[in-house]
């Protein structure tokens, strides 16, 4: 079962507002606010964040009544662009295809859409490259859209990686701003970059994971995922646990079965991670569709107790699965 502490999300947002100083905070609430609930999270942060970022038109429409500015990060098709523009959302233009759609919608609706231009500074995902900017600058002349910002995304977490991208992004942003003829809101930092150095803050930073409690010791995890102990049994050394005989008890021990499994978003790759039952940290031995087996050793564990899989002091993420995935998938 997942529960959300929205006061923790507020506290985390204020933590970043303090770090960012004069730079704006864009709260990333895409994909149901990383599993924390889109509308409740946006409502909680409405008076704290300066802007919100979502993935699609439906999410922009859902939160626009409670927030001032919302940026749709992904390119939208024609229908969804109409929806987003009518809702007053800010659009991302990441390619000439997207530019064409926004231009056609602008003409149809006789509205000047608000736009941020996406730059591909090295992630090779979305955005214009430096070599495309001359063509882009020529294409935007005469179009009825208000270009308000320019942004990119860091792929790395080290200063060397971020500095390389920042330099490239700055060159592209300067070129675009010169052509547009007014100051554009620049943003490239995610949570890790916002924490790494103030030089990455620019005009605004897009903070996602940090809002939900991860990235710094000063943050509070907002989501708590628990399961119930439904069985406890004694087993002998050499006993096989779960499918495939991948876990074999090295000694006589006790096993607890939890009512959660991969059907609830618990990936089998976290076998070996520790969950907390009472005051004891116990290792996951096997994960099935609707059950998880935990080796509790000699800990005082009983049927009916609660096991914590994610929350304060407990994070079952490992090298195969990161906390982003757990937050979005665990139910």
Which residues are known catalytic residues? 30, 243
Instruction: Note the maximum CA span of the chain.
Output: 78
Residue 57 tokens read as: 């038109």
What is the CA 111 to chain-centroid distance, rounded?
31
3-class DSSP state for residue 26?
Answer: strand
309 with 316: CB under 8 angstroms? yes
Tokens 């890790």: give the residue: 192
| Residues paired with residue 92 on neighbouring β-strands, in sequence order | 116
Tally of CB atoms within 10 A around 232: 16
Instruction: Name which of 187, 185, 183, 132 is nearest 165 in CA terms.
Output: 187
What is the CA 55 to chain-centroid distance, rounded?
11
List CB contacts of 181: < 8 A, sequence separation 6 or more: none
Residue 65 tokens read as: 């009544």
55 with 31: CB under 8 angstroms? yes
């Amino acid at each position: 079962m997942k529960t959300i502490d929205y006061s923790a999300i507020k506290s985390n947002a204020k933590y970043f507002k303090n770090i960012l100083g004069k730079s704006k905070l864009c709260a990333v609430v895409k994909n149901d606010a990383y599993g924390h609930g889109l509308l409740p999270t946006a409502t909680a942060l409405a008076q704290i964040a300066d802007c919100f970022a979502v993935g699609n038109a439906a999410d922009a429409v859902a939160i626009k009544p409670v927030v001032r500015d919302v940026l749709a990060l992904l390119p939208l098709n024609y229908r969804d662009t109409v929806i987003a523009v009518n809702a007053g959302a800010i659009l991302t233009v990441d390619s000439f295809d997207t530019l064409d759609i926004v231009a056609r919608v602008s003409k149809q609706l006789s509205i000047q859409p608000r736009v941020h231009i996406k730059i591909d500074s090295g992630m090779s995902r979305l955005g214009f490259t430096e070599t495309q900017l001359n063509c882009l600058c020529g294409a935007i002349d005469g179009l009825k859209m208000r270009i308000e910002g320019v942004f990119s995304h860091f792929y790395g977490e080290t200063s060397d990686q971020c500095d390389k991208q920042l330099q490239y992004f700055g060159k592209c942003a300067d070129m675009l701003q010169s052509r547009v003829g007014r100051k554009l809101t620049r943003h490239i930092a995610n949570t890790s970059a916002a924490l790494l150095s103030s030089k990455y803050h620019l005009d605004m930073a897009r903070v996602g994971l940090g809002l939900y409690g991860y990235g710094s010791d000063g943050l509070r995890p907002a989501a708590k995922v628990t399961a119930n102990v439904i069985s406890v049994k004694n087993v002998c050394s050499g006993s096989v646990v779960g499918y495939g005989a991948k876990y074999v008890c090295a000694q006589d021990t006790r096993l607890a079965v939890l009512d959660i499994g991969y059907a609830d978003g618990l990936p089998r790759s976290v076998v070996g991670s520790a969950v907390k039952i009472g005051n004891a940290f116990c290792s996951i031995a096997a994960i099935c569709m609707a059950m998880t087996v935990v080796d509790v050793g000699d800990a005082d564990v009983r049927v009916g107790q609660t096991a914590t899989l994610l929350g304060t002091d407990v994070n079952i993420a490992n090298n195969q699965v990161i906390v982003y995935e757990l937050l979005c998938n665990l139910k």
